[in-house]
Structures are given as structure tokens and as C-alpha cells.
């Protein structure tokens, strides 16, 4: 993975840029000492590290606007950052770029229960929103596993999901509006407490834009009333195929569970060794199916799920009898990443999505790849929506293993695309999958996406080097080859 060569002219102007930023954000909001910038050198994709040119931590929208206007006028690159938990390197700094941290935007501005929404600053953590509204029985639905740490601004940029998103949607389905600052300092408000902003659905493209279109400075989210009851059932299967069939049969029966997670044998064992959740060790695939809603509904559906599982060859079946047991079922799944961290010095968390019915084939080929590369792999899987998280085990201290792990990961993602899936279901492209984009998109597809970027950021100053494998100048992208000619297909019927 190569990042664009740092701009020497910008590096040479560092002191001047620091001074200009200090004029905008006084006091400790501008960090330029290398040892103090160290915490910002990477995000959750720790294989890549770069010290930023400068870190700036504004606390008002006006400051963000002034910083961006300055950077635009001086052609300085900017990388926005929330909590730095991105697993795709979206917040990886640039040596010649300002890292714009939004940690000081940490206030809940307005909670409007009657209209069922909350207005928060982007640095509020995902779980912080729920914490602010839970005394009235509300919560914010999208629940990435990183929810204690990750920010709503980062969630917006990545369109993050979680185990409950099959039923309750991703970030994009739960955000009503944003305030955003463009690279030239323009402050925009899009959406609000009402549904469906008028005109082009700019909110729809800002969400999931990985910090490339603007800096989000305020977010209005939907809040929901917590379901009355949640119960989980643990199901063990002799093959991943039977587990996959069971998932299809549950959905085919018209049941959309609150959560439906699958783990393969290596993941089950790692999790069980770590948290002793009581998972069966002698199955090839484990499903956790959670039903939520009114007690009568949950009791009714859990019986149906059990019957479907039995019909699909489940060899193990346990229903949570109380809240403690339900949480215990989840404890293993939620600890899957650290559990794998215990059995391997390093691991890569991949994030492809596949059409679910291709699962057995994908797992078989993944096993073959694992043998080819000589690296282990454990799979956790948002089974309902086909989002795979293969965890590739490697040891960065062994020469060549990082590269092997990356190649293995790339092969898995290409496989996902080959069977009709995508490179990333929720973690974003970032730098990690950037060079794989041509596996999924043609050059025309990618150029069209980059033209949209030009509408927001014509000089390509916001988070460059992420998402797109090749940078093009907007002027070049805007060119058109025009062939004058006859009216097409003169033989077609006209009216």
C-alpha cells in the first residue's frame, strides 16, 4: 500500500501553518510536538502508521470552517478523525496533512423525545447517545462492536453497522440530518428533525463518504424505544452449510431477528477458551439468533426458530432463560476479536459481504487459501445480511507474514466480489481496500464517483489517498469526448 508522496513545499511551510492554525484555535488545540502527535499516528488499522504534519482540535463549527478555509486557500490536505477506531485506515494521517480531530465536539445538544430524535456533536460516542436517552427507555439503534469508543461522526463517515442492523438499519437509515463544513469553509445544513431532505439526497452520499466530502460538525439521529424483551437462542450445526440453510429458512419464514450471528469452529474455540460462554466445541458452526419485541412475540418466534433449526439439522440448541444467560451468549461473540488476539500475535479483520447462499463455497475456498498461505483464519459472520468478518492470523515479527496476510485478505475480498458480493460491508474502503476497488468497479464507475467528490472538494484536499486507487484531477475528470452523429437506431419505433 502506497500513500501519495508528501508535498515538500507544504512540509517546508510547517511552522507558518502551525502559527496560522494557532490563530484560529488558541491554546492547546494545536499540537505540533512529535511525541504528542504519536497517539494520532494510526487508527484501528495499526499496520499503517504516519505522523501527521500537525494535529488540530477545534471546538466550534466556526473554527472548523476557518481551518478548512485556510487549508483550502493554502492547498493543505486535511484528514478528519473521530475516535480513530476505523479498521480500514480511513483516519490514517498524512505526513503533509493536518489531522483535524473532533474529540472536543462531545456534547449532546438537544434531546427531543416527542419527535424521537437527538441532536449531537460528532465527537459524542455511539454509546454516549444511548446513555443520554436511556432513562426514558430510548436508545440509538446502530451498534458497532466498537460503540464504547467510536464517535457518531466516525459512524456517519463509515456508515457503520452492528449486530442489530439487519432489523434496525445502518447509520444511514438512522440519521435525519447533519451540519457539515465543506473544504472552502462553507457551512451546510442538510435535513433536520423531518424526514427526507428535499432535493438531491446529499445526506445519503455524505453518510459513508469516509471523510472525503466534508467535515461533519453536528448530527441529528433517530432514537427508538427499547424493545420490551430480548431473548437469544444458541444453535449448533454439524456443517456451515446447514447453519447457512437455517439462516435462509428463518428469513424465508418471514422472521427478521434482532440479531443473527454465525461463528465457525476456530472462532467458537477461541471465544470459548477466552470467556467460557458455554459454547459447544463439537460443532462446525454456531448461530446466535436474538429475537426482540413484546414478550408474546419473542416467545412465539423463538419456538418457530427452534423448529426451523431442528428441521435444518441443528445438533445443539439452548434458549436463554434470563438476561444474564442472554448476555453470556453474546459475551463470546463480542469477545471474538480479542479472543483471536490471544491465539495469534496479530490479526487482520476483513469485512466482505456475500450473497448468503454462497457461504459454503466461500468457506471452502477460504480454507484452501488458508492452506496455501499457511495462515490460520477464524470467521465471525453477520449471518442475516451476509457480512463476513474473516480474522486472518499472522505474526508481524516474522518476515514476510504481514505481506502474506494482506495478500490472503485481498484474495478473500476478490472472492467475495466474484460470488456477487462486495469488498466492504461496514468497515469502509479507506486505504486497506483502496487498491481492490477495480475488482468491483470499472474505471468509468470509479471516475463517476470521483466526479461527485469534485463537486464537494475540487482540489482533492480532504482525506486524499483513501478510497480511490488513482487520483485524478477534477479538470481531467470533467472532460468529455463527444462524437457528433446521426440520431441513434433510426429503425427503432418513434412516436
Partner 1 sequence: MSDTMRPETLDQLRDAVAWAVAEETPLEIVARGTKRGLGRTMQTDHTLDTSAFSGISLYEADELVMSAGPGTMLAEIEAALAAQNQQLAFEPGDWGPLLGQPAGMGSIAGIFACNIAGPRRLKAGAARDHILGFKGVSGRGEIYKAGSRVVKNVTGYDLPKLFCSAYGTLTVASELTFKVLPAPEKTYSVLILGLDDATAASAMALAMTSPHEVSAAAHLPAGITAGFGVSYVREAGAAVTAIRVEGPGPSVEHRCRELRALLAGFGQVEELHTHNSLRFWRELADVAPFAARPDMQLWRVSVAPLSGPVVAAALPDATYYFDWAGGLVWLGLPPAPNAHADAVRAAVAATGGGHATLIRAAADVRATVPVFQPQDAALAALSRRVKDSFDPRGVLNPGRLYPGA
Ligand X SMILES: Cc1cc2nc3c(=O)[nH]c(=O)nc-3n(C[C@H](O)[C@H](O)[C@@H](O)COP(=O)(O)OP(=O)(O)OC[C@H]3O[C@@H](n4cnc5c(N)ncnc54)[C@H](O)[C@@H]3O)c2cc1C
- Under rule CB under 8 A, which residues in 398-457 are in contact with partner 1? 420-429, 433, 437, 440-442, 444-446, 448-449, 451-456
Parallel, antiparallel, or unpaired: how do β-strands 175-181 and 187-191 relate?
A: antiparallel
- Subset of residues 357 to 376 that bind ligand X, contact rule: CB under 6 A: none
C-alpha to C-alpha distance for 271 and 367, rounded to whole angstroms: 20
Using a CB cutoff of 8 Å and minimum separation of 24, what contacts does 283-286 make?
Answer: 283/236, 283/237, 283/238, 283/315, 283/316, 284/237, 284/238, 284/239, 284/240, 284/243, 285/236, 285/237, 285/239, 285/240, 285/242, 285/243, 285/244, 286/234, 286/235, 286/236, 286/237, 286/243, 286/262, 286/316
Q: Which of 350, 353, 349 is nearest to 425 (CA)?
A: 353
- What cell does 464 get? 486524499
Does 164 help bind ligand X (rule: CB under 6 A)?
Answer: no
119: which strand partners?
A: 110, 220
Query: Which among partner 1, ligand X, none contacts residue 182 (Cβ within 5 to 8 A by kind)?
Result: partner 1
Candidate list 29, 52, 90, 244; residue touching ligand X; CB under 6 A: 90
Site for ligand X in 199-228 (CB under 6 A): 210-211, 215-216
Select from ligand X, partner 1, none the partner in contact with residue 84, using the beta carbon and a kind-dependent cut-off of 5 to 8 Å: ligand X
Closest CA relative to residue 151, chosen from 125, 129, 118, 132: 125
Residue 84 contacts ligand X per CB under 6 A: yes
Q: Which stretch binds partner 1 (CB under 8 A): 235-243, 252-260, 265-273, 337-345?
A: 252-260
The window from 3-11, 106-114, 274-282, 363-371 that contacts partner 1 (CB under 8 A) reads 106-114
The listed partner (ligand X, partner 1, none) that binds 198, CB under 5 to 8 Å by sort, is partner 1
Number of residues that bind ligand X (CB under 6 A): 36
d(C-alpha 58, C-alpha 102), whole Å = 7
- With CB cut-offs between 5 and 8 Å by kind, which of partner 1, ligand X, none does residue 228 bind? partner 1
The SS3 assignment for 415 reads: helix
357 touches partner 1 by CB under 8 A: yes
Which positions ≥6 away from 248 have C-beta within 8 Å? 356, 357
Nearer to partner 1, 33 or 492 (CB): 492
SS3 218: strand
Distance from chain centroid for Cα 348: 15
Pick one of partner 1, ligand X, none as the site partner of residue 124 (Cβ within 5 to 8 A by kind).
none
Enumerate residues 6+ apart whose C-beta is below 8 A from 488. none
For position 15 contacting partner 1 by CB under 8 A, the verdict is no
The CB-of-296 to partner 1 minimum distance in angstroms stands at: 5
Is residue 294 close enough to count as binding partner 1 by CB under 8 A? yes
- Out of 81, 231, 334, 382, which residue is the one contacting partner 1 (CB under 8 A)? 382
Task: Give CA–CA dist 467/7, Å, rounded.
Answer: 20
Q: Which of 30, 275, 378, 467 binds partner 1 (CB under 8 A)?
A: 467
Binding region for ligand X (CB under 6 A): 43-44, 79-87, 90-91, 102, 122, 144-146, 150-151, 153-155, 157-158, 160-162, 210-211, 215-216, 337, 426-427, 463
Amino acid at each position: 500500500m502506497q500513500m501519495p508522496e508528501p508535498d515538500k513545499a507544504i512540509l517546508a511551510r510547517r511552522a507558518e501553518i502551525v502559527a496560522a492554525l494557532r490563530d484560529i484555535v488558541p491554546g492547546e488545540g494545536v499540537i505540533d510536538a512529535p511525541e504528542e502527535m504519536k497517539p494520532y499516528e494510526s487508527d484501528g488499522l495499526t499496520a499503517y502508521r504516519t505522523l501527521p504534519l500537525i494535529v488540530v482540535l477545534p471546538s466550534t463549527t466556526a473554527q472548523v470552517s476557518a481551518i478548512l478555509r485556510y487549508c483550502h486557500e493554502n492547498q493543505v490536505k486535511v484528514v478528519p478523525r473521530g475516535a480513530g477506531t476505523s479498521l480500514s485506515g480511513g483516519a490514517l494521517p498524512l505526513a503533509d496533512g493536518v489531522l483535524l480531530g473532533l474529540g472536543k465536539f462531545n456534547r449532546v445538544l438537544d434531546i427531543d423525545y416527542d419527535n424521537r430524535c437527538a441532536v449531537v456533536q460528532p465527537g459524542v460516542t455511539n454509546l454516549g447517545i444511548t446513555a443520554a436517552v436511556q432513562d426514558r427507555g430510548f436508545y440509538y439503534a446502530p451498534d458497532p462492536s466498537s460503540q464504547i469508543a467510536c464517535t457518531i461522526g466516525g459512524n456517519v463517515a463509515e456508515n457503520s453497522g452492528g449486530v442489530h442492523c439487519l432489523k434496525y438499519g445502518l447509520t444511514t437509515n438512522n440519521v435525519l440530518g447533519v451540519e457539515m463544513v465543506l473544504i472552502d469553509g462553507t457551512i451546510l445544513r442538510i435535513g433536520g428533525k423531518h424526514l427526507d431532505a428535499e432535493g438531491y439526497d446529499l445526506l445519503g452520499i455524505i453518510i459513508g463518504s469516509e471523510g472525503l466530502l466534508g467535515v461533519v460538525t453536528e448530527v441529528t439521529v433517530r432514537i427508538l424505544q427499547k424493545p420490551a424483551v430480548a431473548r437469544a437462542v444458541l444453535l449448533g450445526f454439524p456443517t456451515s452449510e446447514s447453519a447457512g440453510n437455517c439462516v435462509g429458512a428463518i428469513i424465508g419464514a418471514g422472521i427478521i431477528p434482532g440479531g443473527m450471528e454465525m461463528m465457525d469452529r476456530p472462532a467458537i474455540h477461541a471465544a470459548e477458551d477466552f470467556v467460557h460462554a458455554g459454547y459447544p466445541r463439537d460443532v462446525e458452526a454456531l448461530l446466535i439468533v436474538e429475537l426482540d419485541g413484546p414478550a408474546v412475540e419473542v416467545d412465539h418466534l423463538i419456538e418457530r426458530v427452534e423448529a426451523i433449526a431442528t428441521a435444518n439439522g441443528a445438533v445443539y440448541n439452548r434458549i436463554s432463560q434470563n438476561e444474564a444467560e442472554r448476555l453470556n451468549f453474546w459475551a463470546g461473540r463480542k469477545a471474538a476479536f480479542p479472543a483471536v488476539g490471544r491465539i495469534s500475535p496479530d490479526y487482520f479483520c476483513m469485512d466482505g459481504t456475500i450473497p448468503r447462499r454462497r457461504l459454503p463455497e466461500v468457506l471452502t475456498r477460504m480454507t484452501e487459501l488458508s492452506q496455501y498461505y499457511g495462515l490460520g483464519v477464524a470467521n465471525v459472520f453477520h449471518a442475516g445480511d451476509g457480512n463476513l468478518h474473516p480474522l486472518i492470523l499472522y505474526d508481524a515479527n516474522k518476515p514476510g507474514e504481514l505481506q502474506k496476510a494482506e495478500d490472503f485478505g485481498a484474495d478473500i475480498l476478490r472472492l467475495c466480489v466474484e460470488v456477487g458480493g462486495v469488498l466492504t460491508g461496514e468497515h469502509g474502503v479507506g486505504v486497506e481496500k483502496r487498491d481492490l476497488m477495480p475488482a468491483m468497479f470499472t474505471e468509468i464507475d470509479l471516475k463517476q464517483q470521483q466526479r461527485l467528490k469534485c463537486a464537494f472538494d475540487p482540489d482533492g484536499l480532504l482525506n486524499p489517498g483513501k478510497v480511490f486507487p488513482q487520483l485524478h484531477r477534477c479538470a481531467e475528470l470533467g472532460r468529455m469526448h463527444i462524437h457528433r452523429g446521426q440520431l441513434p437506431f433510426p429503425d427503432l419505433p418513434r412516436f
